[in-house]
Chains A and B, each alone.
Chain A
Amino acid sequence: GESVGLHLPTLSVQEGDNSIINCAYSNSASDYFIWYKQESGKGPQFIIDIRSNMDKRQGQRVTVLLNKTVKHLSLQIAATQPGDSAVYFCAEGLRNQGGKLIFGQGTELSVKP
């Protein structure tokens, strides 16, 4: 079946450290990938996306890496802050599929002050 999985369901880091959240996706045909952040009691919030023709993309304090050979995606957060504490989801999609995104299980990031 379709699935997008995460290697670690929980991740605890010290404030100021860098965080790396990993994700494995299953559909080699997927051509775009998105990371979402979901804080408690709120809806998912877009962080960054990457197209399949790229292997790296940087945003503000975040970097997404895509390795299509092993179907692996990662989100790196630099200088993690308490406000980064949330559940992080990766999602994969395919163009012209009506916007269908397949979400992974999620990784809960906890930042210790």
Chain B
Amino acid sequence: DTAVSQTPKYLVTQMGNDKSIKCEQNLGHDTMYWYKQDSKKFLKIMFSYNNKELIINETVPNRFSPKSPDKAHLNLHINSLELGDSAVYFCASSQDIAGVGEQYFGPGTRLTVT
């Protein structure tokens, strides 16, 4: 069974559209994250949630809105997509809210905005 899963794996859309990426973890973890990886492989945290509560919001444009319906899911909705949003988005989860320890990453969603 996949520990952290994301859908879709690939997403191609036009500027101005609204899209969502879904993430689910079956590890029983309390904390989930969204990361953005740019074309140079630089990986940067966007958000973290603990038990459906927002913990980290790293100066991400408010076009990005995470939603956690329960602690096993953390979805990412993006409004008015821009060319610069093209990247690979990774969801991750961890057991420890203090952040010490392994974060388990999903396979990523490659978003291409044209």
Question: Do residues B101 and A49 form an inter-chain contact, with CB atoms below 8 A?
Answer: yes
Which residue of chain A is the closest to B110 with respect to CB atoms? Answer: A41
Taking the closest CB of chain A, its distance from the CB of B36, in whole angstroms, is: 11
Per-residue CB proximity of B16-60 to A under 8 Å, as 1/0? 000000000000000101000000111111001010000110100
Contact A98 B56 (CB under 8 A): yes
A60 proximal to B (CB < 8 A): no
Contact with B45, one of A41, A100, A106 (Cβ below 8 angstroms) = A100
Decide: B42 and A99 in contact? CB cutoff 8 A: no
Q: Chain A, 75-113, contact with B by CB distance < 8 Å: what is the 0/1 string?
A: 000000000000101000111111111110110000000
* Residues on A with beta carbons closer than 8 Å to the beta carbon of B48: 98-100
Query: With A and B bound together, what is the CA distance between A99 and B50 in angstroms?
Result: 10
Q: Contact: B42 with A103, CB < 8 Å?
A: yes
Residues of A within 8 A of B102 (CB): 34, 46, 49
B99 contacts chain A at the CB level, 8 A cutoff: yes
Q: How far is the CA of A49 from the CA of B102 in the complex (A)?
A: 8
State which of B41, B97, B99 has its C-beta within 8 Å of the C-beta of A106: B41
Chain A nearest CB, measured from B22 CB (Å): 15
Q: Which residues of B contact A97 (CB under 8 A)?
A: 56, 99
- Please pick, from B4, B44, B90, B99, the residue contacting A93 in the complex, using a CB distance under 8 A: B99
| Min CB gap B1→A, angstroms | 16
Residue of A at shortest CB range from B55?
Answer: A98
Contact A105:B105 (CB < 8 A) given known A98-B48, A99-B31, A99-B97: no
- Given the complex, which residues of A lie within 8 Å of B43, measured CB to CB? 44, 89, 103, 106
- Are B100 and A93 in contact, with the CB atoms below 8 A? yes
With A98-B48, A99-B94, A99-B96 known as contacts, the answer to whether A87 contacts B41 (CB < 8 A) is: yes
CB within 8 Å of B: which A18-38 residues: 31-32, 34, 36, 38
Does B108 sit within 8 A of A, measured CB to CB? yes
Closest 6 CB pairs of A and B: A99-B99, A43-B105, A98-B55, A103-B43, A46-B102, A98-B56
* 8 more CB-based (< 8 A) A-B contacts, given A43-B107, A94-B99, A98-B56: A41-B107, A44-B105, A96-B99, A98-B48, A99-B55, A99-B94, A99-B103, A106-B42
